[in-house]
Amino acid sequence: EAAVTQSPRSKVAVTGGKVTLSCHQTNNHDYMYWYRQDTGHGLRLIHYSYVADSTEKGDIPDGYKASRPSQENFSLILELASLSQTAVYFCASSDAKGWGGQDTQYFGPGTRLLVL
């Protein structure tokens, strides 16, 4: 049973349009993350959240918003989609029980976004 699911799995959007990517986890984890993956750049952190109703900026937050309405759900919002936001987006969750950094991230299957 997949513990982190994402929807949609793929999407084509128009430049300037609004895009919402959704993520749902059943791991009972406090932390959730949004990454984008581009060839040659690996995984880059966009936003993350460690508690419902609160989000934090990651390394590349510009052009993206995030929403964490509950522990299980975390959304990534592109208010004005641009060509440069074409990428694969991954959601992840983790326990992050405390400091020490010895934590495993559990990733969803990804959403392939194409902005035209």
Partner 1 sequence: QQQVRQSPQSLTVWEGETAILNCSYENSAFDYFPWYQQFPGEGPALLISILSVSDKKEDGRFTIFFNKREKKLSLHIADSQPGDSATYFCAASKGYPGGYKVVFGSGTRLLVSP
Asked if residue 23 binds partner 1 (CB under 8 A), the reply is no
Q: Are 21 and 113 in contact (CB under 8 A)?
A: yes
Where does this chain touch partner 1 (CB under 8 A) — which range of 14-22, 63-71, 72-80, 101-109?
A: 101-109
- Which of 15, 41, 69, 79 binds partner 1 (CB under 8 A)? It is 41
| Minimum CB–partner distance for residue 3 and partner 1 (Å) | 11
Of 21, 25, 29, 31, the one binding partner 1 (CB under 8 A) is 31
Does residue 54 touch partner 1 according to CB under 8 A? Answer: no
Q: Where are the beta strands (DSSP E) in 1-116?
A: 4-7, 10-13, 19-25, 31-38, 42-51, 54-57, 65-67, 73-78, 87-94, 105-107, 111-115
- Whether 89 contacts 111, CB under 8 Å: yes
Question: What does the alpha-carbon distance between residue 27 and residue 47 come to, in Å, rounded to a whole number?
Answer: 19
Binding site for partner 1 (CB under 8 A): 4, 31, 35, 40-45, 50, 90, 92, 96, 98-110
